[in-house]
Amino acid sequence: MAKTYAMVIGGQSVETKETFEVKNPSTGEIVGLAPNAKLVDLDAAVAAAAAAFETWSQKSDEDIQAACEEVTAKIAEHSEELAQLITLEQGKPLNGLGSRWEMGGAGAWAGYTSGLSLPMKVLQDNNEGQVELHRKPLGVVGSITPWNFPVMIAIWHMMPALRTGNTVVIKPSPYTPLSTIRLVEIMNEVLPAGVVNCVTGSDGAESIGAGMSSHPDIKKIVFTGSIGTGEKVARSAAETMKRMTLELGGNDAGIVLPDVDPAQIAEGLFWGGFINNGQTCAAMKRLYVHEDVYDEVCEHLVAFAKNIPLGDGMSEDVILGPVQNQMQFNKVKELVDAAKDKGRVLLGGEPGEGLFFPPTIVADLENDDALVREEQFGPALPIIKYSHVDDAIAQANQSENGLGGSVWSQDIEKAKEVASKMQCGSVWINKHGAIQPNAPFGGVKKSGIGVEFGEEGLQEYTDIQVIFS
């Protein structure tokens, strides 16, 4: 019998009458039954978070920091348990850049964020008076997360909110709610009741995410997901003038300059594109390669990719798992099928059993082919040949997205010059997607509003109050 999970509201486990099934993408088996909340449950969670805010926000900075450090320790203690649950519901393997790696990231971000602070700044102190800038918490923060990195993204949202004195209601994706529920249960072992609450819903008749975006007592939404849903969040958040951080879709380009050593960059190119099976916001989703090294880059990339073991993520030998859900699988299949008529399939191309789709590499595509133009969010990488670097930059920038990008070259100064012309929030040189807790991360254009991580990310969970005396 699959376990029935409960919401966490005001420090209590709260069951719902209705539940929905969460399935293992590797096997189709039911991993657990998740609570299918109604909007009244959301109201109860927001009320609990608002009540907890009264005391949590008044705690000293040292006490809040100490509590965040206790949360970090709890995450480390339960790391393997959470990794197993992530693999079961998300599909990514335990090993490789899989769920244990995700838990390592969650721990690193929690620890680093706990150590940050936003002390009062004196802007002026002279005969004409004193001016102080204070950072104040907002109140209840609503966190809405996607299914690709369920625990790590939950930590990215919740830890800076808590560290700055806010309380939280989190709503995970209906595809991966169980690891978030368990994470919030664990956090509640050390946090006061109501500081972190979790409500899950199936995105059916009553959308909890939509309810959060318009809720009058939620003061900020931090949302990670698709551009389409992000636009809806922004529209309904406008009515209550909510603060927002939106981390949305990406269609990151990688540009390979003619001076690279193709054998040396093959592994980095592969993981740039195929991390988490390509289901990563800042994965490399289009690769532009100079004609001088085009054939060799394709050859070495395929040679590396064809040896990656694919299978059920619970097996210790597996490095890539299935696509997470049927909708995403269909999208990848459709884009790959369309690309077959336009380009040359160098690897993969045919779906496997169930939700398994092998790493697929399609060469000789053009910028307006669908696999290049659209965010595939799956294990399929299009390669485009170019002759002049300015054309490659122009093609890379021809997108409504602007999350990340990368430049591959032995000449770092030349690579930085190309990087500066790319319209995106992060550019990596000779790697792709390597985010870190001390560097702000966010998208330009339609890839989002605001940043996460570092001091700049922390500031987004506060309002400024200036005191003139």
- Least distance in Å: CB of 196 to ligand NAD? 17
218 is an interface residue for ligand NAD by CB under 6 A: no
Q: Are 364 and 385 in contact (CB under 8 A)?
A: yes
- Least distance in Å: CB of 435 to ligand NAD? 9
Would residue 29 show up in a list of annotated catalytic residues for this protein? no
**For residue 243, what are the β-bridge partners?**
220
Annotated catalytic residue within 68, 198, 281, 424? 281
Mark residues 34-73: x for contact with ligand NAD by CB under 6 A, - for none: ----------------------------------------
Nearest to 89 by CA among 29, 146, 18: 29
Annotated catalytic residue within 89, 247, 375, 460? 247
396 is an interface residue for ligand NAD by CB under 6 A: no
Q: Show the beta-strand stretches assigned E in 24-144.
A: 30-35, 121-126, 129-137, 140-144
Mark residues 428-467: x for contact with ligand NAD by CB under 6 A, - for none: ---------------x----x-------------------
Q: Are 271 and 415 in contact (CB under 8 A)?
A: no
**For residue 140, what are the β-bridge partners?**
167
- Number of shown-chain residues binding ligand NAD (CB under 6 A): 29
Among 226, 240, 315, 423, which residue sits at the site for ligand NAD (rule: CB under 6 A)? 226
Stretch of 127-135, 185-193, 244-252, 352-360 lying at the interface with ligand NAD (CB under 6 A): 244-252
197 is an interface residue for ligand NAD by CB under 6 A: no
Characterize the bridge pairing of strands 19-23 and 30-35: antiparallel
**For residue 132, what are the β-bridge partners?**
122, 467
- Least distance in Å: CB of 126 to ligand NAD? 43
- Please state, in angstroms and as integers, the Cα–Cα distance from residue 325 to each residue in 19, 28, 92, 342, following that order: 19, 10, 12, 26
Which value, in Å, is the radius of gyration of the alpha carbons in the chain? 23
Stretch of 91-99, 228-236, 237-245, 379-387 lying at the interface with ligand NAD (CB under 6 A): 228-236
How many residues are given for the chain?
469
Among 225, 262, 382, 440, which residue sits at the site for ligand NAD (rule: CB under 6 A)? 225
Would residue 413 show up in a list of annotated catalytic residues for this protein? no
Tokens 């054309």 belong to residue? 391
Among 375, 386, 409, 461, which residue sits at the site for ligand NAD (rule: CB under 6 A)? 375
Q: Show the tokens assigned to 72.
A: 């970090």
Nearest to 332 by CA among 360, 298, 302: 360
Distance CA 233, CA 312 (A): 35
Q: Hey, what's the torsion of the CAs at 65, 67, 70, 76, to 10 degrees?
A: -70
Mark residues 266-295: x for contact with ligand NAD by CB under 6 A, - for none: ---------------x--------------
Max CA-CA distance within the chain?
76
Among 247, 312, 369, 460, which residue sits at the site for ligand NAD (rule: CB under 6 A)? 247
203 is an interface residue for ligand NAD by CB under 6 A: yes
Q: Name the residue nearer to ligand NAD (CB basis): 96 or 443.
A: 443
160 is an interface residue for ligand NAD by CB under 6 A: no
Nearest to 435 by CA among 454, 449, 407, 417: 454
Q: Show the tokens assigned to 467.
A: 């005191």
148 is an interface residue for ligand NAD by CB under 6 A: yes
Q: Based on the number of CB atoms within 10 Å of its own CB, is 301 exposed (0-12), middle (13-18) or buried (19 or more)?
A: buried
249 is an interface residue for ligand NAD by CB under 6 A: yes
Stretch of 63-71, 73-81, 187-195, 221-229 lying at the interface with ligand NAD (CB under 6 A): 221-229
Among 207, 240, 397, 459, which residue sits at the site for ligand NAD (rule: CB under 6 A)? 207
Q: Which residues ranging from 114 to 133 are in contact with ligand NAD (CB under 6 A)?
A: none
Stretch of 52-60, 203-211, 314-322, 353-361 lying at the interface with ligand NAD (CB under 6 A): 203-211
Among 250, 268, 433, 454, which residue sits at the site for ligand NAD (rule: CB under 6 A)? 250
Q: What is the sign, positive or negative, of the torsion defined by CA atoms of 362, 365, 369, 373?
A: positive
Q: Are 236 and 218 in contact (CB under 8 A)?
A: no
378 is an interface residue for ligand NAD by CB under 6 A: no
- What residues have CB less than 8 Å from 361, skipping those under 6 apart? 298, 301, 302, 305, 345, 346, 347, 348, 380, 381, 383
423 is an interface residue for ligand NAD by CB under 6 A: no
Q: Which residues are catalytic?
A: 247, 281
Interface ranges with ligand NAD (CB under 6 A): 144-148, 171, 173-174, 203, 207, 209-210, 213, 224-226, 229, 232-233, 247-250, 281, 375, 377, 403, 443, 448
